[in-house]
Structure 1
């Protein structure tokens, strides 16, 4: 019995150790992601949430009004889920050092910490996530990758008590790259 528990613990530690990406590995990747440049004006995103078994649980789209107020980047996000639910989150993001950021929003616990290198950005934060009539405190390990042509791909691992609940995947594109708005979620 002790042998099995020890083996299970060892395997868990090895798997956890293998899952940590290092932001510095992206230093030479192009195009360089400059957060304050990418998020200016309207930005659109399409996203999905898959549970830990790969089952699609939710689809959504997001319209973002992005702007600078002094040295703070404001991301005013309007969500529409495929089941008709709507939500809004306002991020306030400030640089703290070269290539480092902190972000705050109403449902974020404390401060989100971000590091940027090359074409990648990694955010780590805790959030009170609405689940039905309740909310769960979950942790996000959030990675964004700027691609040639201006598409920003976002993949986030969502965990509770260290166990992965699922993955969120989003694709962002700036309005100035489109002929017309694909949808309008922001009230006039």
Structure 2
């Protein structure tokens, strides 16, 4: 899959538009065998100063562990992004086309009291109602360790006008009682 394949898909996903303000995310990590290893909630405060997007992420894991990561992200050309965080090795590089964004980066990941260097191939897709779906494949030495799945949601009434999104929620399919 190539991020350029989504150039015509909408709504347009720009990190600085979506993540400015408050965002909440819910996620889980599954190992390569499909076993659920961790679940978490992330509260994100985003600030865009016109040049740099700062994301202050506060993680709360199901086991009670708390963690924090601060990203600084800059646009890099018409579709690119460059980002940094304390546990990211070097720079994260990404590109956005249409409603999709693909990040790749190396990170020191905390696992059982130690850190291991892993690689993330991170895909994000903005949906029409302002939700972002995120799936990141985590590898080490080219071997898949697992997948993180994350669901991001904004305060829709505040974000909808900026993103050109609808604000009324309609069911995708109405449930009806069976007829006799």
Q: Is the TM value for this pair above 0.5?
A: yes
Written as runs of structure 1 = structure 2, the 5 A alignment for 1:19-30 is 21-30=1-10
Task: For residue 34 of structure 1, report the CA deviation from its aligned partner.
Answer: 1.6
Match of 1:174 in 2: 154
Runs (4 or more) in structure 1 with deviation over 6 Å come to none
Matched residue SS, 1:44: strand
Written as runs of structure 1 = structure 2, the 5 A alignment for 1:112-127 is 112-127=92-107
- Which one of the candidate residues 82, 107, 113 is aligned to 2:62? 82
Distance 1:22 1:61, change over 3 A: same
| RMSD of equivalent CA atoms | 1.1
Matched residue SS, 1:77: strand
CA–CA separation in structure 2 for the residues paired with 1:64 and 1:175: 12
Match of 2:22 in 1: 42
Tell me if structure 1 keeps the 8 A contact 2:27–2:40. Answer: yes
Match of 1:145 in 2: 125
Determine whether 1:164 maps to 2:133. Answer: no
CA–CA separation in structure 1 for the residues paired with 2:14 and 2:108: 28
Match of 1:128 in 2: 108
CA–CA separation in structure 2 for the residues paired with 1:148 and 1:51: 30
Matched residue SS, 1:25: helix
Matched residue SS, 2:76: strand
Task: For residue 177 of structure 1, report the CA deviation from its aligned partner.
Answer: 4.5
CA–CA separation in structure 1 for the residues paired with 2:28 and 2:76: 31
CA–CA separation in structure 1 for the residues paired with 2:137 and 2:3: 16
Number of matched pairs: 158
Query: How big is each residue's C-alpha offset from its partner over 1:95-135, in whole Å with a ceiling of 9 and x where there is no partner?
Result: 11110010000000000000000000000000000011110
Provide structure 1 residue ranges, at least 5 long, that are not aligned to the other structure.
Answer: 1-20, 179-188
Provide structure 2 residue ranges, at least 5 long, that are not aligned to the other structure.
Answer: 159-180
TM-score (normalizing by structure 2): 0.86
Matched residue SS, 1:32: coil
CA–CA separation in structure 1 for the residues paired with 2:18 and 2:76: 18
Structure with the largest fraction of helix: 1
CA–CA separation in structure 2 for the residues paired with 1:152 and 1:70: 22
Task: For residue 35 of structure 1, report the CA deviation from its aligned partner.
Answer: 1.2
